Amino acid sequence: MTNPLLAEGGLPSFSQIQPDHVEPALDETLRRNREELEQLLASEVEPDFVTAIAPLEEMQDRLHRTWAPVSHLQMVKTSDELREVYNRCLPKLARYATEMAQDKRLFRLYKTVNDKLDGANNTPEGKLLEHALRDFRLAGVDLPDEQKKQFGKIMEALSQVQAKFEQNLLDSMAAWSRHETDEKKLCGIPAAVLDAAQTAAADQDMEGWLLLLDQPTYIGVITHADDASLRKDFYTAWVTRASDQRSGSNEFDNTGLMEEIMGLRHKAAKLVGFDNYANYALASRMAGSVAEVTKFLGQLAKIAKPVAINEFNELQAWTGRELQAWDVAYYSEKLRLKNFSISDEELRPYFSLERIMDGLFQVMQQLYGLTAREEQDVDRWQPEVRYYSLINDQNEPVGSFFIDLYARRNKRSGAWMDECVLRKRSNSGVQLPVAHLVCNFTCPAEDKPALLTHEEIVTLFHEFGHTLHHLLTRVDYPSVSGINGVPWDAVELPSQFMENFAWDPDVVRNMSSHFETGEPLPDDLLLKLQASRVFHSGIQMVRQIEFSLFDWRIHSEYDPERGAHIRETLAEVRKSWSVIETPEFSRFENSFAHVFGGGYAAGYYSYKWAEVLAADAFAAFREVGLFDRGVANRFRETILEVGGTADIGTAFQAFRGRAPQIEPLLEQAGIVNSKSARP
C-alpha cells in the first residue's frame, strides 16, 4: 500500500489519509532529508546556489508536503487517533528543526554560497541567504561550543517556564467558578452563556447555573450582566488570575515565573550579541530600533488619549455615575446599542454567504483581474469544502485554494489561512501555491441560506487577504515565498488591508441582498454600521497601546541587577496613558499570556504597527479610486508578490512613494477628522 503522505506532487489526497500513515511517512521523510543532507555536506562539487541551496529548499518542501496535510487535518477534522499520533510526532519535528538550526557545517555551507554572491545580495537568492544566516546566528550556531550549549539550555528552560506560565493560568481559571441559583441575578447575560452554565451545573449534579471563568463567560458577564456585584466578582477573579491576590491560594501564582522568563530571555539575547531581548526580536522584524517602536507608540498614545478621555467622560456623564473598572464594558455596550441600535440579527438577513463570496471575488477581480473558478473534481476532507482555481486575465492559473466555511465537531474554533502547497520552481516547472481558508460560520438550516454577521464578513475578508499573500507570490523558493520570511510585525498587512473593503459602503451595498426580498442593505443601516466601527475607538486604542508599551518597556529596559520591574513598569505606563483607573488588587500582568507565554514577547506592538501599514495602504487606494488598477498592480507587485525577499520598509516606500504614516489609521478609527462623520 502506498502512503498518501509520501506522494511527490499534486494535491494531498485528504480522504485517503489515515492516522496510521502519519508516523511512518514522517519517519521516512526525515530519514531521507537527513541522508540527503549528509550527501550534500560530503559532496565534492563546488557549492553554489543551484548545487547546495536548491536541494535544501527541496527538502523543506518535502517535509511540508508530508506534514502540512497532517497538521491541517488535526485542526479541521481531528480524532483521538490522529491527535495521539500528531502529538507523538511533534518532538521528532522539533528535534529535526533544532538539528538543522544548530548544524555548524550547514551554516558554513550557506556562508560559502553567500560569499560567492558578489554583489547580488538584493536578488531573491541573496535575501534567502541573508535570512538563513540571520536565523542561524539567532539560534546561536556560531557561538563557541560551551556558550552554544548554554544557549540551548536557556531556550529549553524558557520553553518550559513559559509552558508552566500558561498551565498556571489555565489551572487558576479552572479553580474558580460562581454558582448561582437565583435567575434574577443573571439578568442580561446572553442565552448562549447561560446555557453553557446550566450544562456545567448539571454535569456536577448542581441546581441552577455554574458560571466558569472562561473567556466567553467572562465577556458575557462583564459586558451584559445587569448585576454590578456579579460583574465585580468576575472582574476581580479575571484580573487576579494566576496571582497572589487570589483569596484562598497562591498555588498558581505566576509572579516568580515571570521574573524567571524575563531573565532567561535577556540572557539568551546577550549570548547571541544583543543588548536586550527587544533588540534580539527586532533582528527579524520590520521595525528598525527600540527607539523607533517607542516613538511610534508614544505618538499614537498622545493623539488617542484626549479622544479616549472624552469618550470616557461622555460615557460617565451619560450614566450619571462614577464608573468602576467593572462597569465600563457594560455601560459602553448600553451606549453603543442606544446610539447605533443595530444588532447582528438585524443585519444577518442581508448577508447571505453566497452573495458575500461573490462580492469578495468581485473585489479581487476588480483589483487584480483575477477570477475564482470552482472545481468539482478534487479530493477533499469533508463534502461541503470547496476548491477554487485562481485564474489571471491572461487565462493562466496562479494558484488555488480550499475553503472550509462551517463549524463542525472536531474542528478547531476561529478562522485562519494555512499553506497547503508552497510555490516552488524545480526542473519539472513551477509548483503553484495552494491555500487553506478556514472559518467557523454557522451551518445553514435546511430552509435558509447561510447568513453571516458583519464581523464574520470582516473575518472572511481578513483571511482572504492572507490567502492572496500566499497565492500571488512570485518567489520560487519555499523558505521565502508567500508569507514565509515576512517579518512578524508586517505579516498582518495584507489581511488587515482586505478588511477595509468589508467596511466600504459601496462594497457592502453591492454584496448585501436580503435573502427573501433581494433588497440591498438600507442606507440607514449602512450608516449605523459605518458609525459603529469607530465607537469608543479612542478607549480601545489607548488600551492596546498600554499593553504594547508595557511589553516593549519590560523587554527593552531589562536590567539583571534590578530585575524585570514588571508591576512597576505597568503602573508607570498606566499612570501616563490609561483613562480608566485600575484597582490596586489587579494583577492583570500575571495572565498576559501573549507576552509571557511566548508568541508576542517584545511584539505586542505588531498589532498597531501592521494596522498602520494596512490603513495607509488602503488610503492610497481611496485617494485615486478604490479599484484603480494602477495602484492595485503596484500593491500586488511591491507587497503581495515579494514574500520574504524584500525589505518590507523599502517595499512599502516603493508602493506608497513615502514611508508609512499614522494619519490614515487615526482617520479610519475616527480619532482625527474622519471623512465619515462621527456620531
**Could you list the active site residues?**
463
Give me the least distance between CB of 415 and Zn ion, in Å please.
Answer: 9
- Nearest residue to Zn ion, scored by beta-carbon proximity: 495
Pick 56 or 435: Cβ nearer Zn ion: 435
Q: Are 652 and 535 in contact (CB under 8 A)?
A: no
In sequence order, what are the residues at sequence separation of 6 or more whose Cβ sits closer than 8 angstroms to the Cβ of residue 292? none
Q: DSSP readout, 388-419?
A: EEEE-TTS-EEEEEEEEEE--TTS-SS-EEEE
Alpha helices, DSSP H only, in 597-662?
A: 606-624, 629-635, 648-656
Give me the least distance between CB of 163 and Zn ion, in Å please.
Answer: 24
Give me the least distance between CB of 461 and Zn ion, in Å please.
Answer: 11
Q: Are 75 and 438 in contact (CB under 8 A)?
A: yes
Distances (CA, A) of 599 to 159, 294, 444, 517, 594: 11, 20, 35, 47, 6
* Secondary structure letter of residue 208 according to DSSP: S
Q: How far apart are CA 125 and CA 589, in angstroms?
A: 43
Burial class (CB in 10 A: 0-12, 13-18, 19+), 229: exposed
Pick 484 or 495: Cβ nearer Zn ion: 495
Give me the least distance between CB of 462 and Zn ion, in Å please.
Answer: 6
Pick 73 or 486: Cβ nearer Zn ion: 486
Structural Rg of the chain based on CA atoms: 26
Give me the least distance between CB of 297 and Zn ion, in Å please.
Answer: 21
How many CB atoms are located within 10 Å of the residue 588 CB?
Answer: 17
Give me the least distance between CB of 439 and Zn ion, in Å please.
Answer: 12
Give me the least distance between CB of 483 and Zn ion, in Å please.
Answer: 10
Long-range contacts of 86-90 (CB under 8 A, 24+ apart): 86/22, 88/23, 89/22, 89/23, 89/26
Pick 495 or 544: Cβ nearer Zn ion: 495
How many CB atoms are located within 10 Å of the residue 580 CB?
Answer: 17
Give me the least distance between CB of 492 and Zn ion, in Å please.
Answer: 5
Pick 240 or 467: Cβ nearer Zn ion: 467
Give me the least distance between CB of 416 and Zn ion, in Å please.
Answer: 8
Phi-psi domain of 651 (left: phi exceeds 0; alpha: psi -120 through 50; beta: other):
alpha
- First and final CA of the chain: distance in angstroms? 66
Q: How far apart are CA 456 and CA 465, in angstroms?
A: 14
475 CA to centre of own chain: 23
Q: Are 271 and 151 in contact (CB under 8 A)?
A: yes
163 CA to centre of own chain: 19
Long-range contacts of 29-32 (CB under 8 A, 24+ apart): 29/62, 29/63, 29/66, 29/67, 30/63, 30/92, 30/96, 32/62
Pick 540 or 582: Cβ nearer Zn ion: 540
Q: Are 106 and 100 in contact (CB under 8 A)?
A: yes
Pick 431 or 496: Cβ nearer Zn ion: 496
Classify strands 397-406 and 434-441 as parallel, antiparallel or unpaired: parallel
Classify strands 424-426 and 177-180 as parallel, antiparallel or unpaired: unpaired
Pick 130 or 499: Cβ nearer Zn ion: 499
Residues that bind Zn ion (CB under 5 A): 495
Give me the least distance between CB of 438 and Zn ion, in Å please.
Answer: 12
Nearest to 134 by CA among 521, 493, 644: 644
Give me the least distance between CB of 466 and Zn ion, in Å please.
Answer: 6
Q: How far apart are CA 165 and CA 598, in angstroms?
A: 10
Pick 399 or 494: Cβ nearer Zn ion: 494
The two counts, helices (H) then strands (E), for the chain are: 26, 9
Classify strands 416-421 and 424-426 as parallel, antiparallel or unpaired: unpaired
Half-sphere exposure (Cβ direction) of 1: Cα atoms closer than 13 Å? 10
In sequence order, what are the residues at sequence separation of 6 or more whose Cβ sits closer than 8 angstroms to the Cβ of residue 95? none
Pick 76 or 498: Cβ nearer Zn ion: 498
Give me the least distance between CB of 544 and Zn ion, in Å please.
Answer: 16
Q: Are 479 and 62 in contact (CB under 8 A)?
A: no
Pick 265 or 608: Cβ nearer Zn ion: 608
Q: How far apart are CA 659 and CA 262, in angstroms?
A: 33
Pick 141 or 472: Cβ nearer Zn ion: 472
